[in-house]
Amino acid sequence: MKKLFVLLLSFISCYSVWAQLAVVNDSAGFVAVRENVDAKSKITDTLHNGRVVLSFDVHGKWLFADYSRHGKTLSGHIPALRVTFFNNMTKFSKSSVNDSTIILSFDSMKIIIATGKFEKNKSTIQYGKRDVFVKSINGKFPYGTDGNLPRRQYKLINVHINGNSIAIDKNCWADLFEPSLALTNAFIDTSRKTIYLAAQNSDGAGTYTVVWEFKNGQYSNREVFLAE
């Protein structure tokens, strides 16, 4: 019964995050971010096609969504019909998954992710006041730790597209901790020739969602969303 309960929680959480992640997709090439749920409301920003957003609330035909701008997380209202949700894209299959490795595949494309124990002796750790909470690891904010020392970390992320191998640079995942392979999936938007590799990770409190983007066979971008 306990195993069934854990699996059910994983399914609900996984469905939830894929239902919330979306990509701006408008015939005009962009969408206006508005202050309120009203087409006449003040425009606070503009998001171009391809921008990944994380939607938390739906208000009729409007989404209240988070997006990043210059390293900061911003929020606003955008029309729900102007985005394509991840769960409406083609999803990669999980051909292999265990505690440390996952393989995602679709057609001639394959993604391999390996994780392992956090290597404290190889890391520079800076603590905050009273040497209790972890402030940074190797000079960067540690996602997923909520102030604690991490238990697990990414070891590698390799993407194979049509025979070409793309190894994501360590700088694109070295600050991300407590990876959850059970809540990791990949999606492809064939119209934009873009692959989205997404994961929802946490140590139990420091939940975050990360999306890596691969466009035209090359790594292009990373977005990180922190849970409020």
Burial 45-82 (b: 16+ CB within 10 A, else e): eebebbbbbbbeeeeeebbbbbbbeeeeeeebbbbbeb
Instruction: Determine the pLDDT at residue 203.
Output: 78
Average pLDDT over residues 176-195: 94
Instruction: Determine the pLDDT at residue 18.
Output: 61
Average pLDDT over residues 33-56: 94
Residue-wise pLDDT tens digits, 76-85? 999 999 999 9
2: pLDDT strictly greater than 50: no
Q: Exposed, middle or buried, 107 (CB in 10 Å: 0-12/13-18/19+)? A: exposed
User: How far is Cα of residue 140 from the mean position of the Cα atoms in its chain?
Assistant: 18
